[in-house]
Structure 1
């Protein structure tokens, strides 16, 4: 059975995330693992009791939404698992995704972690960098599952090893799929090569209806938002090579102006695996692990406030 990991908080926007995951779990079908991380008060006398109370609060929310947005028959079909942990989400999500063998992470565009509310997209970009499975970022007030998809990437540089994992989501997101390759004017001599790269990608994907598009545009991010708006796409798939590229999709200039691509779900494929330094001994291994954890924490907290 497929597994959807849903990091969640207790904000109103979280209800839309869970409602979307519920519908997806019925369609796929899949089990839903709910992950809630609670920042404990230093004065808390009984941490275990606090976590139990938070889990009960989460169960009440699940039972309400299970039948509020779905028919009773479909609501009963969903299987849930609950993981309520102390601390910050970014400290646990990597291990939890591996432990439940998550096929997909579904999370909100806005999220509160460590008692802090981050700028839209910054939190999602951090989580996408920590887990190896695809991450679906769902904006608030969005409940409808898509039937029109757009996949935008640099297909000439995209590793084909990513495409089988994407094809595994075809039954979850049926519909038409547009492959869009943007290129600048200076790349006109490479059009044939880019067209061939599009064809190779299309041959590896299992959607029944796939259309390939080469689009000349000097600003691909603005271009893909305009393309999605023009075609009324309901899901955007991206494969950014770096975290910086991913953050650009959720830049405040786009969220504040409500650019089209920030109003629809965005499925993030991690195009490159982070380089892991080799340790020569156990002492060096511990030191590298500490440095990596400190770097992730610093990058996570050094984000712009909303």
Structure 2
């Protein structure tokens, strides 16, 4: 069974996050692992008793929300697990994702970590850097599952390992998918390259209703928000190449002006880091070194000389 890890911070917005995760769990279907990290500074003289009280509080929240926006039959089908830990989310989330083999992490845009509030999206961006599974950032408010998706990326440089990870989520998000590639006017000579990359990416995705779009715009982030608004998208999928690029999506200038892309859930994909090859013996080490040397040197024999 698939697993959704949901960090909870006991704020009102967290209820919306859990309600959204519940709908996903029914559609996929998936098991929900609820993770609450209680700040060390907030612990009483009896930490075990306090953690037990927080678990009971979490169970009460689950029972209250289990049937909200769901039929009783669907609510009963959801399986929950509870993880109550002492400390900060960013200290535990990596281990929890690995321990539960989480396929998706769902958290709030305004999640509070370690008892500290940050600008919207900052904690989510930090957590995304720590885990390898996709992270779904849900803004406050009641919302239904998406009926239209937008995947905005630079497909000419997109890491190939991201497409299978996105394909694994097709059952959770079976809505029509728009692939959009933005390029500045200075890159017009590369239009054919961009179009080929879009077509190649579309061929590796299982969505039945899929449409590629090549758009000229020198401000891709603003263009993405306008594209989502124009197409009434309910989920934006991004594949940032750096932590700074991810933070720009949730910059205060966008959250303050309530830009469209900050008002819908955002699914963040991260490429899996390739592990370096490790030799088990001296003979294997020599073979790896020879292979690396061959990969660096040009292969003149494969060139067709005129």
TM-score w.r.t. the length of structure 1 is 0.88
Q: Is contact 2:161-2:272 (8 Å) kept?
A: no
Report how many residues are paired: 277
Q: Go from structure 1 to structure 2 and tell me whether the alpha carbon gap of 1:85 and 1:252 turns closer, same or farther (over 3 Å shift).
A: same
After TM superposition, the structure 1 = structure 2 runs for residues 241-256 of structure 1, keeping only pairs within 5 Å, are: 241-256=241-256
Q: Does 1:11 align with 2:11?
A: yes
The answer for the alignment partner of 2:89 in structure 1 is: 89
Q: Secondary structure at the residue paired with 1:105?
A: strand
- Structure 1, residues 167-219: CA drift from partner, whole Å, max 9, x if none? 01001001110000000111101000110000110011000011010000000
* Counterpart check, 1:129 vs 2:126: no
Alignment CA distance shift 1:61-1:43 (3 Å): closer
- Equivalents in 2 of 1:271, 1:223: separation in Å? 24
Calculate the TM-score normalised by the size of structure 2: 0.88
1:42 shift after superposition: 7.1
Distance in structure 2 (CA, Å) of the matches to 1:43 and 1:10: 15
**Considering only aligned residues, what root-mean-square deviation do their CA atoms show, in Å?**
1.5
Map 1:1-306 onto structure 2 (within 5 A). Answer: 1-41=1-41, 44-271=44-271, 273=273
5+ residue gaps, structure 1: 279-306
Whose radius of gyration is greater, 1 or 2? Answer: 2
Rounded to whole Å, the distance in 1 between the matches of 2:11 and 2:172 is: 26
Distance 2:43 2:250 in 1: 36
* Deviant stretches of 4+, over 3 Å: 271-276
Please state how far the C-alpha of 1:40 moved relative to its aligned partner: 2.8
Shift of the 239–43 alpha-carbon distance from structure 1 to 2, 3 Å rule, reads: closer
Contact 2:132 2:271 in 1 (8 A): no
